[in-house]
A and B are shown apart, each in its own frame.
Chain A
Amino acid sequence: MNKKDAFLTAIGDNQGLIFKVASVYTNSIEDRNDLMQEIIYQLWKSFDDFGQKSSLSTWMYRVAMNTAIYYLKLDKRKIKTFPLDEHFIDVKAMDNNEIEEKWQILKQHIDNLDLLDKGIVILYLENKSYEEIAQIIGISISNIGTKLSRIKGKLREKISKQL
């Protein structure tokens, strides 16, 4: 399999990951699509350097989250993206109102977290182990445990108030 095919397969297998990271770190469809484009571009640029020391999804999460943070830091001078055709990203309409409603609640509360906590929540929801989360975020495992229980408590309180 050549580099292009391997990359496209990796993107295909992890498109949900890119979509969710981009959705959590942005607040509009346009920004989300720009960030998705930038994440895919950054993944492509560093695809050669991926040494398989970590799993593909761990590496993808790390690049995706770094890119998202970098994107937010750029903010005003904003990354210049290349206009893509409208079929680049195809988002299905939600056919389940309950899921849609829950997603909106989740997103609303994740939005209020700081960048580090956002990253931890994303990886926790993705069923990553504490060790993997620590590896991706770059802090100790015990710190992840402490932070996560604090975040959970905070979210529990806020979501309960809303429901």
Chain B
Amino acid sequence: MELDNFKNTWDEMSNQVKVNQNLNLKIFDKMSKNQFHSSLKKIVLPEIIGSIACFGFAIYVGFNFGKLGTIAYQITGLISILLFVILPLISLMSIQGLYKSADISKSYADTLKEFTIQKIRFCKLQKLNFTLCYLLAVTVILLSTKLFGSNHITDSKYFFLVSYGAGYIILQFVSKWVFKGYNKTIQKTENLLQELSVYNAQAAKQ
């Protein structure tokens, strides 16, 4: 039997299907955002969890403000509360920018352009966040001596030396690791957009 003998069968198959004419374009909007956003979940989830924790710590310091005693400690307390609020706000703002760049009404090329702008903004804000984290670490270590009461650990003359040293090393390590992970996720999303943009642009031009 020849391939040509199957042409009728092939044509007949077209009559076997009907794509719903009431197909709502909102579906595409949801599909687009679903695909785009799922690739950014690796960034969004830890940032949201971190933000909740920060707000929690801000409330904790606020409730225990009375324990801080001297004005110097109270100012440190206020700075830490401020940082615990500002840091997640910066994070959430930068994530919101990335999320908003998934706009179905634009072509892939425009989405990619917007995504690149938001990516640069995100990286700048994350760097600012990491810098502020060092300041936060200083205030938190200072406050811990008051909030967790005087004990043999905080009374030790090595406490500040060890905690600041360890804090600095841990922050260095964590910030580099997190930033690397975020960059990888963002790059993956960007590559996906780029790939789709290129092959559909080629298809349209040919």
**Cβ contacts B17-29/A at 8 Å (1 or 0 each):** 1111101010110
B17 touches A92 (CB 8 A): yes
B13 to chain A, nearest CB (A): 6
What are 13 A-to-B residue pairs whose CB atoms are below 8 Å? A12-B19, A15-B19, A20-B14, A40-B19, A41-B28, A45-B200, A46-B200, A88-B20, A92-B16, A94-B16, A106-B10, A125-B10, A152-B3
Report the bound CA distance from A106 to B20 in whole Å: 27
Given A8-B21, A70-B199, A89-B19, A51 and B6 contact (CB-CB distance below 8 Å): no
Give residues of chain A (51-72) contacting chain B, Cβ–Cβ below 8 Å.
51, 53-54, 59, 62-63, 66, 70
Interface 9-mer from B32-40, B74-82, B86-94, B113-121: B32-40
B residues less than 8 Å from A126 (CB atoms):
10
A50 to B21, CA, bound (A): 21
CB-based contact A88/B23 at 8 Å: yes
Least Cβ–Cβ distance between B185 and chain A, in angstroms: 14
Report yes or no: A45 in contact with B196, Cβ–Cβ below 8 A. yes
Of all chain A residues, the one with the shortest Cβ separation from B6 is A106
Interface assignment of A124: CB less than 8 Å from any CB of chain B: yes
User: B residues near A, CB below 8 A?
Assistant: 1-3, 6-10, 12-21, 23, 25, 27-28, 30-32, 34-35, 38, 104, 107-108, 195-196, 199-201, 203-206
Query: Is B3 a contact of A81 with CB atoms below 8 Å?
Result: no
A36 to B19, CA, bound (A): 9
Chain A interface SS verdict (over half): helix
Q: A151 and B25: CB pair below 8 A?
A: no
CB neighbours of B195 from chain A (8 A): 70
Say yes or no: B204 contacts A80, CB within 8 Å.
no
Could you tell me the distance between the alpha carbons of A82 and B195 in the complex, rounded to whole angstroms?
21
Residues in A neighbouring B32, C-beta threshold 8 A? 41, 45
Cα–Cα distance between A87 and B21 once the two chains are bound (Å): 10
